[in-house]
Structure 1
Amino acid sequence: MSLLGNRAAVVTGGARGIGLAIATAFRREGARVVIADLDKAALEAAHAELGGGDDVTTVVSDVTRADDVERMIATATDRYGALDVMVNNAGITRDATMRRMSEDDFDQVIAVHLKGCWHGTRAAAAVMREQRRGSIVNISSLSGKVGVAGQTNYSAAKAGIVGLTKAAAKEVAYLGVRVNAIQPGLIRSAMTEAMPQKVWDQKLSEIPMLRAGEPAEVASVALFLASDLSSYLTGTVLEVTGGRFM
């Protein structure tokens, strides 16, 4: 039996990377998926990669805008009759040392990661509380646990997602809605592989498993949190890091 058979899920930032890996895992386990992203061309490619058809829907959306987030959720409920899973994954980076970082770079990262996650959690919970069921999965980062030099914006946003997750979980647990977070560590992607070799090697040396993670390994944890396998988990933060910074 599939883990998400006939359930409806929304994945933000779903056109590539970890988001696309999560959407792929959900589809494999029977979910009908709405993938939201700002990049229309990437969404079209992702739709094709996921097999197309009526069980995959794409929405061009900006998670910093409440009306956009509400529209993506309405797409799920209108097309599939419910919203069973919400994954708040959309993100950007604007790395710089604190001395060189502009206020706009700080604001943009906070808006996309933290405010976007708040919009998604809030809007999804409003639907799920009426259904008296649902799972919200927020993508944080190991950077939000330990802080990373050059990422005062990103680390702050990702730490904030943990606090948001725990507070929201306490508000809606009695309604049958679960809210959990994932903190990925060094995950292989186009962005991380573009790091200078010296930086990559230094990060790799901090990982007891001696390798970077793959997007599919984060997706497997998201699948666990989305499914009934985690039915008694809420307000938790699962680290997918290969043991880095235990």
Structure 2
Amino acid sequence: MPSTDFSALFAGHFTGRRVVVMGGARGIGADIGEGFARAGASVLLTDLTPAVLDTASALNETGLDVTGLVADATDEDDVAGVFAHVRSEWGSLDVLVNNAGIITISRLEETSTEDFAKVLAVNTTAQFLAAREALSLLRAAGGGSILNAASGQAREGFIFTPSYAASKFGVMGMTQSLAKELAPENIRVNAYCPGIVETEMWEYNDREWGRLIGGYEPGEYIRNAIESIPLGRAASGADIAHALMFLASDAGTYITGQALNIDGGMFMN
């Protein structure tokens, strides 16, 4: 069974460190933010939806140092504003988690140019914007870690998701390029590839893929997908958070330019 005890695994490890989680209002992003905060970090969650303020407030009420900020990860001015806030409040940054993401599931002839471009903007270009704005703050800390959300679809594109697959393959290439460029400055850049995670996005996937592939009943498609996972279960948000915390921790200082599968064995390459 997955562990959800963040404090036991990384107790105090990130004390005094500063972490930004883009796309942190709910789901995986909120769990990642909580994990780092429970390990002692000061955390800034950003998201397009004002729900990020409620998420941060709820975590604050448990005694964690978490702030929320509404920002569009695809808007250059908004992203610049996020890191201007970081500079003003903290002066430097240790970890950037690029977790914002969306998916469109549709047949090729039903996929609009606008939908295709939007998925690439959120899933790939937004990561570039955040990394560029965060760079000087990571330098000010003497190095740090950038963690980019990829996917199993960065290994193998699934049916009916050409924009999502393209965006995640793009994340892989960008991660490798930045890792080579920034390694001399002690800034490590890695990608993480979740599989099926218990979030609202997979509920949507189940509904849409099930409809397109053959009229699955609600819950049937995802049930079948989970049965094919070697470890026999979907991931929790804590599973993803723990892996990212390892990559950003002192235990991960010799790892850069990699894409870590966090998928229960769905992909083994």
For normalisation by structure 2, the TM-score amounts to 0.87
| Deviations 1:84-121 (CA, angstroms, capped at 9, x unpaired) | 11000011122112221111110000001100011112
| Deviations 1:166-202 (CA, angstroms, capped at 9, x unpaired) | 1000001001111111000011112323523231133
For 1:76-225, list aligned pairs within 5 A: 76-194=86-204, 195=206, 196-225=218-247
Matches of 2:155 and 2:186 in 1, distance apart?
A: 28
Matched pairs, number: 245
8 Å Cα contact 1:96/1:151 also seen in 2: yes
Which deviates more from structure 2 when the two are superposed, residues 225-234 or residues 123-132?
Answer: 123-132
For 1:18-97, list aligned pairs within 5 A: 18-40=28-50, 42-52=51-61, 55-97=65-107
Matched, 1:235 2:266: no
Q: Give the drift of 1:244.
A: 0.5
Give 5+ residue unaligned stretches, structure 1.
Answer: none
Q: Give the drift of 1:130.
A: 4.2
8 Å Cα contact 2:92/2:140 also seen in 1: no
Give 5+ residue unaligned stretches, structure 2.
Answer: 1-10, 207-217
For normalisation by structure 1, the TM-score amounts to 0.95
Q: Give the drift of 1:54.
A: 8.7
8 Å Cα contact 1:16/1:46 also seen in 2: yes
Q: Give the drift of 1:56.
A: 1.9
Tell me how large the CA RMSD over aligned residues is: 1.5
Matches of 2:107 and 2:247 in 1, distance apart?
A: 34
